[in-house]
Amino acid sequence: MRGRRPSLFWAACAVAGAILIAFVVLPAASMIVGAGAGLLGEALRQDDIRRSLWLTASAALIATAIAFVVGVPLAYLLARRDFVGKRAIEGIIDLPIVFPHTAAGIALLTVYGREGVIGRLLAPFGISFTETVAGIVLAMLFVSLPFLVDTARETFALVDERYEHVARTLGSSPGGAFLRVTFPQAWRGVLSGAVLMWGRGISEFGAVVILAYNPKVISVLTFERFEGFGLRAAQPPAVLIVIVAFVVFLVARTVLLPRRGRSRKDAA
């Protein structure tokens, strides 16, 4: 009887997992099958869809690059140092995750819009965040930066700090120890966080549609087609972005993340 309990337990886990996987896969598979290869090929020949797809991917990439430059140092600081207000900063970084996305767009509009504090300051220099690519990047950056910062922080925390101390005793500066010792051990996790952030950025709708309805990213174009022409017209752009995101995440999972099974075998 005791020998059967583990097998029943794992079978129950497998059944529960299968239900959850089906819940995720069925809508995506139904959408892809419903669109059909012919409709997808036709969609790729449409200029507005190609422009929107390129705009979405490139804007998310720019937002990710900005977060990488300013977010990775912050993630390293949070992983290595304890200071007053650290928990508050971590909570602030995670705030966009719980923000309703339309509320995030409105919040950004009150600061970066034409009547916002920063919007008015930058207007004389010809910089605007409403109805511009800059606004799209800003909205994507706001809602998706926690994915990069949190993943990078957790990855840096896993790197043994003693290696950095050894590098310091050999004459490296704190920055040199980070670049030569810590980052080479953590780059896979950091890059994985960047991919997660990029994927979150390309899927953003609520904040983008309020701050920068035009030019249209793929989520806004999909919504506009659904509202104006119905489900059939909205399927092709929706399927395209799902396929792009799936391919990128598949590469990230298979290439960037460490293979646990191999590491366990080697350890044994």
What's residue 29's pLDDT? Answer: 81
Fold designation for 16-267: MetI-like fold (1.10.3720)
> What is the four-CA torsion angle of 203, 209, 122, 55, rounded to 10 degrees?
50
Decide if 249 contacts 200 (C-beta within 8 A). no
**pTM summary value:** 0.84
Please name the residues in contact with 136: beta carbons below 8 A apart, sequence gap of 6 or more. Answer: 55, 59, 208, 211, 212, 215, 217
So where are the chain's domains?
16-267
Q: State both tokens at 128.
A: 């605007």
Residue 258 has pLDDT above 60, yes or no: no
Average of per-residue pLDDT across 128-150: 93
More confident residue, 152 or 242: 152
Average of per-residue pLDDT across 175-196: 89
Query: What digits encode the pLDDT tens for the residues 51-70?
Result: 898 999 999 999 999 999 99
What's residue 78's pLDDT? Answer: 93
Token look-up 């035009």 returns 214
